[in-house]
Amino acid sequence: MGAVYDVLQRLGLDISFFYQLAIIIFAILASRFLFLERLRFVFEQREEKTLKLDTKSQKMMKDAEELGKVYNSIIEEGNKKARKNFDEGKKVVITEQKKVFKSAEEEFSKNLQTHKKSFYGEASEYKNKVFSEVDSLASILRDKVLK
């Protein structure tokens, strides 16, 4: 112990060094229990609230992306079904309209043929009537011209 005491005296340290060392150790221990434990608790809570919430948010984002994919697939499937139903309805309407148009066309054609026959019949009657009167009209015209 004497060697330690000689070294301390050469360094210019006296017994007050031990008192100062004891005060510093007491201050460190006291600050550890009073401040450092509380500070460590605050840091751990901050880390838990930031980093762990970040992992939670990443998990939630993955879940949201999966739900978005499911939603998009459901919407796409619904659009396909709606398009298919629309196309089928369109085909049904087109075939029905073709049938209606064809029957109307046939009816029109029949009416046209009937009116055509009637018109040609009347025209031939009128033509025959006119040709039968040609001689009498020609003689009347000749008499009037010659008078």
- Of 13 and 86, which is predicted with more confidence? 86
At 83 the pLDDT is 95
- How do residues 89-135 score in pLDDT, each as one tens digit? 999 999 999 999 999 999 999 999 999 999 888 888 888 887 787 88
- pLDDT tens per residue, range 53-70: 778 888 999 999 999 999
Nearest 10 degrees: Cα torsion 56, 62, 67, 71: 140
Is the predicted pLDDT of residue 81 greater than 70, yes or no?
A: yes
- pLDDT in the model for residue 1: 64
What is this structure's pTM?
Answer: 0.44
* Nearest to 21, CA basis, from 33, 10, 8: 8
Residue 127: per-residue pLDDT: 84
- What are the pLDDT digits (tens) for 10-64? 887 777 878 888 999 999 888 888 888 888 888 888 888 877 777 888 899 999 9
Give the model's pLDDT for residue 9: 77
Residue-wise DSSP of 80-106: HHHHHHHHHHHHHHHHHHHHHHHHHHH
